[in-house]
Structure 1
């Protein structure tokens, strides 16, 4: 069982693309921010393969970065970071990606993290985009053992002064074995507002966006046994000593 939000000071959320976090966990993030948790976003790519219109490709990555920063602001997150050197559609769980995520873990020093699932969910196949799986795997490797091990990538400590850090709780999005629900009924409107900031990805959906997301979260709440009318985001939660 996760610790109460009031006992958490810092959380880090890692996603492959702009909008992944908002589709997956923006309601949860908003509840944590309301509880006083300082949340940081880390995006592996800038989503240059996304979009549904004729926006020139060279404009898509900077556009999506701006959209993500605006979406984060809606739920109270101001620290939004992007890695360099990773292309949308081509993410692999390399040792270098593991190192780069571990670097941010040591910088932020979160007690809690949200990451994408490294396991494919055949009931929610779009959530199992290959970049999501790769980012999830690299993030899990970065959490354990890399970020906590002073002898893994020793230059992080020797050259950058980044002390090892132990993450205590990991929330895994879109996992087929999800066992923990966060009630996001009261933050649903902010989740939708955050998603609407991703105009290049969601404008074509119109009012269907809110309907679709409400249906997802209603189904999640039913699976979790929450009362009728409630909305939930689901996770597999793992605790580490």
Structure 2
């Protein structure tokens, strides 16, 4: 299933994770009519080198930045679970909280970080990313579809089980989305994260190089830019 879904959920650890990894793909989906929801596990209060603000102030600032970034690619619904930045673990509580949103949104597709360590990219293997990917995958299967999992979701909140038919894991290998036509919107989304990205003009050529290498690896025409995912059938 690589067509455009009616509803999609993007589960990430921190504000800006979606914009680095999949904002171009999201822009294409929302343009085609997909209702996309962002779910951030943390508020990102441990991000950056700013020490003059306390954690609550940083978290509030980063939530607002993520909302502005989401708007650049057509996402209106941005949710935060408020787990502590830098201390995310793939607990049953986190699985339940992600399952709750899956049952609320009822997406045909969920994008998640990879739960596997990438030995070629330390930054991509932030422990919060891996824990979020593991918890989100477990929320997709088996939790969100299992009426016996987190029974309070059904008994107390009336949230019926939902089976997600497809998960897209950030970084691939496998599926390449050509984002050439929406690349500037991806850059605009990243520019919204002013507390984390001080010089978007310096970042843009690096993004072009990275996305260009992705496209070249997929055999797309010269000058193309692409995001990469592993598509997992979870029906």
TM-score normalised per structure 2: 0.97
Within a 5 Å distance, the mapping from 1:1-241 to structure 2 comes to 2-5=1-4, 8-58=5-55, 59-84=57-82, 86-175=83-172, 178-203=173-198, 205-241=199-235
Structure 1 residue 124, shift from structure 2 partner: 2.3
Q: Structure 1 stretches (4+) deviating beyond 6 angstroms? A: none
Partner deviation per Cα, 1:74-111 (whole Å, 9 max, x = no partner): 10100000003x10000000010001000000000000
The Cα offsets for residues 107-161 of structure 1, whole Å up to 9 and x where unpaired, read as 0000001000000112222111000000000000000000000010111101000
Count of residues in correspondence between the two structures:
234
TM-score after normalising by structure 1: 0.95
Alignment gaps of 5+ in structure 2: none
Computed over aligned residues only, the root mean square deviation of the Cα atoms, in angstroms, reads 1.0
Distance in 2, matches of 1:4 and 1:24, equals 19
How far apart, CA to CA, are the structure 2 residues paired with 1:145 and 1:54? Answer: 41
